[in-house]
Amino acid sequence: MKFGFIAHPTSVDLKRHTKLIDIFTRTSREQAGGFESRHWQKQNLVPFTRFEKVVSATGAECSGIVHYMPLTAEEMLAQPKVMTERVVAGIEQLKTEGAELVGLGGFTGIVGQRGIQTAKHACLPVTTGNSLTAYVAYRNLLDTLAHLSLAEDGAEVAIVGFPGSIALVIARLLLPHGFRLHLVHRNRHPGPEQLKAYIPDNYQGQVRFTNDISACYSSVSFYVAATSTGGVIDPAQLKPGSVVVDAALPRDVLPQSTPRDDILLIDGGLISASEAVSFGGAQPEFDPKMFLNGCLAETLILALEGRNETFSIGRELNSQRVLEIGEIAVRHGFSPTPLASLGRRIKAQDWVAIRQHHQPSQRASLLPSSDMATKEETTERFKQHINPEMANFYAHNHLERVFVKGEGATLTDTEGVDFLDFVAGYGCLNVGHNHPAISEAMTAYLSAAQPTFIQYVSMPYQASLLAEHLAMIAPGDLSRVFLSNSGTEAIEAAIKLALAASDKGQLLYCDNGYHGKTLGALSVTGRDKHRKPFEPLMTQCESIPFGDLSTLAARLATGNVAAFILEPIQGEGGVIVAPAGYLKAVRELCHQYGCLLILDEIQTGLGRTGKMFCCEWEQVVPDILTLSKSLSGGMMPIGATISTAKVWNAAYGSVDRFALHTSTFGGGNLAATAALRTLQLIEEEQLAQQAALIGAKLKQELLAIAEQYPFIKAVRGQGLMLAIEFEQSFSGSVAATVDELAHRFSWDAAGTYHLLSDKAKSHINAALGEIEQGMEDMFVLRFVTKLAKEHQVLTFVTANSNKVMRIQPPLVLSQREADQFINAFRSVCDDMSTFQN
């Protein structure tokens, strides 16, 4: 059976969308067959789309035609008699195109006495779709209370648009559940006595009538809105925790000038098709299955049933027929879930922000419990109070996990699933998660009630021990230690120390390097993505290529460079290893030209590359060395900047200068206790040697895998600081897709594109490039997702490149765990090898 449907734009923007479809269709026909007057004549309806073969979950089939009445609601309501005639003419047109039943959109259904006059004069049966729209909005409200674990009996709900056909039948459906209803009507409607006639006598005590929506804002949290005017609910006045099921088009909720996270606006009356339903598309991914308007869906479902009958017209819809069409829809594979809000699918964590306003306030435990509620609540807190866009990124890439336990190289999430951790806090956990020896040392310190923050009123005992130990294990004559709270603070301290110690003013750093995100550290970070929003940064900083000795020599020869800062291996830059001998030659050049050498060993240090410090591979001793990340075993924030006595004395070695750089929290005894025990463990457990041994085998296995899969561009690194770089190019793919399709069209797509302005083509080409770049990033992120979801292995990309996957597990990694990663990675490579590049 074939159906027709007369839709209409619900806003000025959608009317312009209809104009775009119209001119595109007419131009395409002209290009295919030449100019003909009939292509450019006035039309009653604008053709939109066709459903050639819809197959439901039961195997039933139908087809359909959807046309637009190119007028907004306001324009239609201004000329109801004319509109009725135009709708009837539209039905006649659809009949000539094979339709046996015609559905009417929101306002094409309202004109003609809510379809009654239209049905009287039409040549085909018609339906407004209001029955299915009402059923779905009714289910939306019941689902809302279920999500919030609230009882239906006694719940207060405002029904806005009473006694309109949808609002009226929803009220009648809700009353048997025990709801207490605030029925909001327009001023022009008769008084309460006449309105009461719409409500059965046995439910009169559950209703209250009002023509003032604002009277509901302070006491009502749940709304179902279905007016024919739109724009009657002010979201700014809603109580926190309010939920509005807005089944009106145009929307009954006014646009929000400032979006609120403590209310939820549900797109009411939308229904979605399951996987069992086919729309006959060549690619199922492009089937329009999600969030169909109830009015269109009702017409389609009646066609699937073979029922070419007038189903939903007039003010008073039959409650039983509303439930009937809902049951038929479900049988054919259509469901009121998932729910949507402003076009976006509502997820479990979206309910958390609403739920907190409907449940007694409870103080959350500092220790998370192993249940899904903890995950959802934590996700919502993160989204609301830390970083909403990062939360969205996590959700899109299936990274929204909450861990409740960490031990060694293993993390356990709220669902009790163990994950092998190959991120290790970006290198913070060289001794593994929660090493018991560090926990014991910290517990003993706290149990003894020793003082933590006593800097500058005494010499802190544990901090002094830590400084002494760092001086003992640091290469060469590095012996003065400044303790801070993070890696970026250690870099800031190093920059200030170098500038204070030198009579020169310039600083050199490396392209693609990464040293942190405070302003000073950003000034010597070689990635525009991180720097741009904060420029201008420190003006005396200049970048040179990493690994390029000739450029360094030429720059140092000018004689005005105070210091050169670099990483022995560029970690966030993609684990870029310098050419052999580079670091040693850098040391010699800096010495030759009186330039201080600052080595950032925040990631490479403390055993990560197979030696305690990476610079030891070439027997290099810098003037300043920075540490952080794993310095406390991941238990406490701490950083260290270690220099020679000569450099420190030149910078701060006088009574006027000794306190030029200090820190309130840096050098705290508790953090120092954790760090001191961590350093001892790295030596006692020979973790540097472990990193060298396991890392060499891991790299060898990865190189063997890389030979089989051309999309792996490189495997590089040292010890357990490894990286896998991918190369799955999509360059030119979008243009090729367009070209492949365009020459198969009967109209001149290439010619149309050619006639666009140069500016338009420039923007389109730039956008295509960004899309293709995004596809390359997505390819790598799907490795991250598959490793975690299918093999319980945690990995991530580097900060400077989404094409490089970091391999930085704790140094306590066993050979068995390394093999687990290799097997998982090999399996994912095989899964992703449809294209060999």
DSSP 8-state symbol, 574: T
CA atoms within 13 A on the CB side of 734: 13
Distant-in-sequence, close-in-space partners of 470: CB < 8 Å, separation ≥ 6: 481, 627, 640, 642, 679
In the prediction, which pLDDT does 319 show? 95
Selection from 627, 560, 633 nearest residue 598 by Cα:
627
Selection from 564, 556, 647 nearest residue 593 by Cα:
556
Rounded to the nearest 10 degrees, what angle do helices 388-396 and 372-385 cross at? 140
The amino acid occupying position 331 is R
Lowest-pLDDT choice from 150-164, 270-284, 417-431: 270-284
Please state, in angstroms and rounded to a whole number, the distance separating the CA atoms of residues 46 and 578: 64
DSSP 8-state symbol, 283: S
Residue 710 Cα distances to 333, 696, 704, angstroms: 43, 22, 12
Distant-in-sequence, close-in-space partners of 322: CB < 8 Å, separation ≥ 6: 131, 132, 134, 135, 138, 169, 173
Is 9:21 a contact under the CB 8 Å cutoff?
A: no
The amino acid occupying position 833 is S
Residue 812 pLDDT greater than 70, yes or no:
yes
Max mean pLDDT range (338-342, 396-400, 727-731): 338-342
Residue 347 pLDDT greater than 70, yes or no:
yes
Vertex 693: Cα angle to 692 and 699 (nearest 5): 80
Please state, in angstroms and rounded to a whole number, the distance separating the CA atoms of residues 722 and 423: 11
**β 292-293/270-273 pair status:** antiparallel
200, exposed or middle or buried, with CB in 10 Å at 0-12, 13-18, 19+?
exposed
Query: Which phi and psi angles does 422 have, rounded to 5°?
Result: -105, 15
Please state, in angstroms and rounded to a whole number, the distance separating the CA atoms of residues 481 and 641: 6
Residue 466 pLDDT greater than 70, yes or no:
yes
Residue 15 Cα distances to 91, 129, 520, 549, 750, angstroms: 21, 21, 52, 63, 27
Residue 773 pLDDT greater than 90, yes or no:
no
Condensed to tens digits (0 to 9), the pLDDT of residues 507-547 reads 999 999 999 999 999 999 999 989 999 999 999 999 999 99
Q: Kindly write down the DSSP assignment for every residue of 454-502, as one continuous string.
A: -BTTB--HHHHHHHHHHHHHSSTTEEEEEEESSHHHHHHHHHHHHHHH-
Helix (H, G, I), strand (E, B) or coil at 35: coil
Residue 326 pLDDT greater than 90, yes or no:
yes
In the prediction, which pLDDT does 373 show? 66
Position of tokens 């027997």? 619
Residue 368 pLDDT greater than 80, yes or no:
no
DSSP 8-state symbol, 417: -
% of the chain at pLDDT higher than 70: 97
Q: Region 279-300: what's the mean pLDDT?
A: 84
Please state, in angstroms and rounded to a whole number, the distance separating the CA atoms of residues 612 and 380: 41
Residue 235 has which token pair? 């979201």
Condensed to tens digits (0 to 9), the pLDDT of residues 12-30 reads 888 888 888 888 888 888 8
In the prediction, which pLDDT does 20 show? 86
- Rg of the Cα trace of the chain? 34
Vertex 203: Cα angle to 200 and 206 (nearest 5): 140
Is 316:165 a contact under the CB 8 Å cutoff?
A: yes
Q: What is the pTM of this model?
A: 0.81
DSSP 8-state symbol, 407: E
In the prediction, which pLDDT does 703 show? 97
In the prediction, which pLDDT does 705 show? 97
Condensed to tens digits (0 to 9), the pLDDT of residues 219-262 reads 999 999 999 788 899 999 999 999 999 998 888 999 988 888 89
Identify the H or E element spanning 818: helix 815-831
Q: Region 40-53: what's the mean pLDDT?
A: 90
Identify the H or E element spanning 2: strand 2-7
> Do you find a cis peptide bond into 536, omega within 30 degrees of 0?
yes
> Do you find a cis peptide bond into 338, omega within 30 degrees of 0?
yes
Is 138:329 a contact under the CB 8 Å cutoff?
A: no
Is 411:403 a contact under the CB 8 Å cutoff?
A: yes
> Do you find a cis peptide bond into 250, omega within 30 degrees of 0?
yes
In the prediction, which pLDDT does 301 show? 97
Residue 88 has which token pair? 């009837």
SS (H, E, C) 103-165: EECHHHHHHHHHCHHHHHHCCCCEECCHHHHHHHHHHHHHHHHHHCCCCCCCCEEEEECCCCH
Residue 310 Cα distances to 101, 243, 303, angstroms: 8, 33, 12
Helix (H, G, I), strand (E, B) or coil at 635: coil
Provide the 10 A C-beta neighbour count for residue 212: 10
Q: How far is CA 526 from the centre of its chain?
A: 26
Residue 741 pLDDT greater than 70, yes or no:
no
**β 639-644/576-577 pair status:** unpaired
Q: How far is CA 822 from the centre of its chain?
A: 29
